[in-house]
């Protein structure tokens, strides 16, 4: 005779701890049934509840004059003009992408798109921030190809360009890739819609694709670690349909424009339970639904499956009864299915019926508030050892030409044009700068302004110094926008870490948050949306702590949009900022010496701000031909990238008496921007630098054919270009 499984055992199987199960029974004052356990499992998962992170997330600056809609909605928004706002959001799809990379990366972008138009905003473009293991590994090569293909295929089919992004490769991410998608849209302020189930008696309508078993328990899967059994969990990965997605955008935006809906929420993580309970909770109401009215893909689905399904391209609309027929008519015009499944109630309860039977009944407050923890922290033991490097003991390279070529052809630094070429060329007509610029820039014709956006984050910096790494992620994102001529406006953050139950991981998380908070506050870029992804681990351990900072900015005058490529021979080249003896945590150490060690470059926030303000002032005054920040690979790599982008060389002569050759060429000192200007603007550049009290050095001139740096480097631009652009195609295409 088989032993009967207890409720507690079921709860533990679906991710509810014994303590949480006890809390649930005390809240309900009874034992929950199986469906109710599923509701709690989804809503109390880390992915939905942020139970291990929300205490620390409150440290982030979320308010200010730039904010139109702050954290807590589907997406955040900052002002673009008095009548319009930029809506933007980053989301992770890490664990699903390890299992089904094509489908998961597609739905990662698709889900983020829904977060944008749910607010009443029109999505404009996407960015991606990706992390993989070594690209020489066959599984990693497969993941990289499929993620790149899935992300761009979905975006192309929906009709949105993937304008920019970043990709890192490191063994830390082997078996646990990071796939973070960011979407940017534009909102007419009068069209703002919030996720609120307001108005007692208003109708609850499910809209879009049918509900299936795909993605059931997806939120729980995303909240657990990857192990040997994870490859079999393809059922936890929802599969999108971009054709429905494209029509859904237009249909929802039309009913919003006509002011026909009260509230709206997309169905992403935790599907129907999340959208119903959250919209009711935010409005202080309840919702009653009949799941027999939910359109299905499959026969025989249980209430548990219907409520937790994460089938894609589905929305929940709250509509006044007198507007329901007009809403359904518009949806039908766009070939979008819809069904009235319930109503808004006054009792604060999520009541789920199947025909006349009540299958679940839980106060929405219990589901939406959930538990809240601050976990134990412990400074990692590895830090003291890993931060020490005997730089004097490093072997001097025989030739720095070879070192530069090797860095440019390393997978983290090399061009990611292989992905960019998959973007439909017809979709980039409003893109203002070529691929490879410091940020993506999108022109908004109706406002005659451009929106710039970037994604940035260095996991190795955060592994070796999480506080500084968090600050640098914000500073570099802002620096990238400034190099394009944009004034930074706001942040969305994607925080990717190992298990929060590991005290060393939680120490990393806490310190990264403090770093992001300090820099975001200093630069006045509020954090208006974001995502936390814990449990990013494989059998060998946790990933590098990897905060991704998505940042948006505004270019008021399109004529000042600036790219990184050198433009004209004999233009002068300036370094704004200064080179320092900082080699720790650099790509040079990692690639040339196989050392992921040392202290990352330090960051002086005031100096960084002055460098950025000086360069932005120069660009707005029309003084700058090109601008490019120094980041991974350092000074020499930044110069090489400007040469490659502009198909011109440079002759550089600059003193570095107190700095080693390696640190001078490849150190990753912060707060440095390389600009090129016409000879007639030399004095004006010097005047601006003096005004902001920033160090600046005239380092050379733009020349044809070769990049020459002192007597250390002399390489043809054609050879730099070949190394930089062919590295990844050679690996992934054989």
Are 212 and 300 in contact, with CB atoms under 8 Å apart? no
Query: Which positions ≥6 away from 229 have C-beta within 8 Å?
Result: none
Active site residue 47: yes
> Which residues are registered as beta bridge partners of 629?
673
> Which residues are registered as beta bridge partners of 30?
none
Torsion sign (Cα): 39, 41, 47, 52: positive
Length of the chain: 734
Separation between Cα atoms, residue 458 and residue 473, nearest integer Å: 7
> The tokens of 709 are what?
């740096």
Query: Which positions ≥6 away from 577 have C-beta within 8 Å?
Result: 607, 611, 630, 669, 671, 672, 673, 694, 695, 696
CB atoms near residue 454 (< 10 Å): 31
What's the angle, vertex CA 89, arms to CA 88 and CA 93, rounded to 5? Answer: 150
* Helix, coil or strand: residue 416: coil
Are 491 and 515 in contact, with CB atoms under 8 Å apart? no
Q: DSSP character for 121?
A: P
Torsion sign (Cα): 591, 596, 599, 604: positive
- Shortest CA distance to 533 belongs to which of 281, 214, 181? 181
Q: DSSP character for 397?
A: P
* Helix, coil or strand: residue 58: coil
Q: Are strands 338-345 and 713-716 parallel, antiparallel or unpaired?
A: unpaired
Separation between Cα atoms, residue 436 and residue 724, nearest integer Å: 11
Separation between Cα atoms, residue 178 and residue 131, nearest integer Å: 5
Separation between Cα atoms, residue 692 and residue 685, nearest integer Å: 11
Q: DSSP character for 71?
A: B
Helices (H), 284-359: 303-308, 324-333
Cα–chain center distance at 603: 23
Active-site option among 93, 95, 628, 696? 93
Residue 405: CA atoms inside 13 Å, Cβ hemisphere, count? 16
Helices (H), 206-257: 218-222, 242-257
Are 313 and 249 in contact, with CB atoms under 8 Å apart? no
Query: Which uninterrupted H or E stretch holds 504?
Result: helix 503-522
Are 561 and 450 in contact, with CB atoms under 8 Å apart? yes
Separation between Cα atoms, residue 674 and residue 321, nearest integer Å: 60
Active site residue 656: no
> The tokens of 179 are what?
């796939």
Query: Which positions ≥6 away from 349 have C-beta within 8 Å?
Result: 286, 288, 361, 362, 363, 364
Residues acting as catalytic residues: 47, 93
């Amino acid at each position: 005779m088989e032993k009967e499984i207890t409720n507690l055992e079921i709860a533990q199987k679906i991710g509810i701890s014994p303590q949480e199960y006890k809390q649930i029974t005390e809240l309900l004052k009874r034992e929950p049934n199986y469906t109710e356990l599923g509701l709690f499992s989804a809503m109390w998962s880390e992915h939905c509840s942020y139970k291990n992170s929300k205490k620390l997330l409150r440290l982030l600056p979320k308010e200010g004059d730039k904010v139109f809609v702050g954290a807590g909605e589907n997406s955040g928004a900052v002002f673009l003009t008095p009548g319009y706002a930029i809506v933007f959001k980053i989301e992770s799809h890490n664990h699903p992408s390890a299992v089904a990379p094509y489908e998961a990366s597609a739905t990662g972008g698709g889900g983020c798109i829904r977060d944008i138009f749910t607010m009443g905003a029109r999505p404009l473009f996407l960015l991606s921030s990706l992390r993989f293991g070594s690209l020489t590994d066959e599984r990693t090569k497969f993941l990289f190809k499929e993620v790149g293909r899935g992300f761009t295929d979905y975006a192309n089919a929906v009709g949105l360009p993937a304008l920019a992004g970043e990709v890192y490769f490191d063994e830390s991410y082997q078996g646990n890739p990071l796939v973070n998608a960011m979407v940017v849209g534009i909102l007419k302020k009068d069209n703002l819609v919030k996720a609120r189930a307001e108005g007692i008696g208003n109708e609850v309508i499910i809209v879009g694709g049918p509900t299936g078993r795909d993605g059931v328990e997806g939120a729980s899967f995303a909240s657990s670690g990857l192990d040997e059994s994870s490859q079999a969990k393809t059922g936890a990965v929802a599969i999108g349909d971009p054709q429905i997605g494209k029509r859904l955008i237009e249909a929802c935006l039309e009913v919003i424009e006509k002011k026909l809906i009260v509230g709206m929420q997309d169905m992403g993580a935790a599907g129907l339970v999340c959208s119903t309970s959250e919209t009711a909770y935010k409005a202080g109401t309840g919702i009653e639904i009949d799941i027999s009215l939910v359109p299905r893909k499959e026969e025989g689905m249980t209430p548990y499956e219907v409520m937790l399904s994460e089938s894609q391209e589905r929305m929940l609309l709250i509509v006044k009864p007198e507007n329901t027929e007009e809403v359904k008519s518009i949806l039908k015009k766009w070939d979008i299915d819809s069904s009235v499944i319930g109503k808004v109630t006054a009792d604060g309860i999520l009541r789920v019926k199947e025909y006349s039977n009540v299958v679940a009944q839980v106060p929405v407050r219990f589901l939406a508030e959930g538990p809240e923890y601050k976990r134990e922290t412990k400074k990692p033991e590895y830090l003291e050892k890993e931060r020490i490097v005997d730089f004097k003991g490093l072997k001097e390279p025989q030739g720095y030409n070879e070192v530069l070529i090797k860095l440019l052809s390393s997978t983290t630094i090399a061009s990611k044009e292989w992905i960019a070429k998959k973007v439909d060329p017809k979709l980039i007509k409003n893109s203002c700068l070529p691929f490879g610029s410091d940020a993506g820039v999108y022109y908004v014709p109706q406002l005659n302004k451009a929106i710039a956006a970037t994604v940035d984050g260095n996991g190795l910096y955060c592994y070796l110094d999480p506080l500084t790494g968090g600050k640098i992620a914000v500073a570099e994102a802002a620096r990238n926008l400034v190099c394009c001529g944009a004034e930074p406006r706001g942040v969305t953050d994607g925080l990717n870490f190992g298990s929060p139950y590991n005290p060393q991981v939680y120490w990393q998380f806490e310190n990264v948050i403090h770093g992001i908070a300090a820099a975001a506050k200093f630069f006045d870029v509020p954090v208006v949306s974001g995502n936390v992804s814990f449990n990013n681990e494989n059998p060998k351990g946790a990933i590098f702590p990897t905060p991704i900072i998505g940042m948006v900015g505004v270019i008021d005058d399109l004529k000042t949009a600036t790219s990184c490529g050198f433009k004209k021979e004999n233009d002068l080249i300036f370094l704004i900022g200064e080179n320092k003896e900082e080699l720790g945590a650099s790509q040079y150490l990692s690639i040339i010496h196989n050392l992921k060690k040392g202290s990352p470059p330090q960051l002086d926030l005031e100096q960084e701000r002055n460098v950025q303000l000086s360069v932005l002032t120069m660009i707005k005054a029309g003084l700058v031909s090109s601008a490019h920040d120094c980041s991974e690979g350092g000074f020499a790599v930044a110069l090489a990238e400007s040469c490659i982008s502009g198909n011109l060389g440079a002759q550089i002569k600059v003193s570095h008496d107190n700095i080693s050759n390696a640190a001078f060429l490849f150190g990753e000192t912060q707060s440095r921007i390389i600009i090129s200007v016409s000879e007639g603007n030399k004095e004006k550049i010097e005047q601006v630098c003096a005004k902001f009290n920033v160090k600046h050095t005239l380092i050379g001139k733009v020349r044809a054919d070769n990049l020459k740096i002192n007597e250390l480097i002399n390489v043809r631009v054609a050879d730099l270009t070949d190394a930089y652009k062919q590295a990844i195609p050679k690996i992934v295409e054989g």
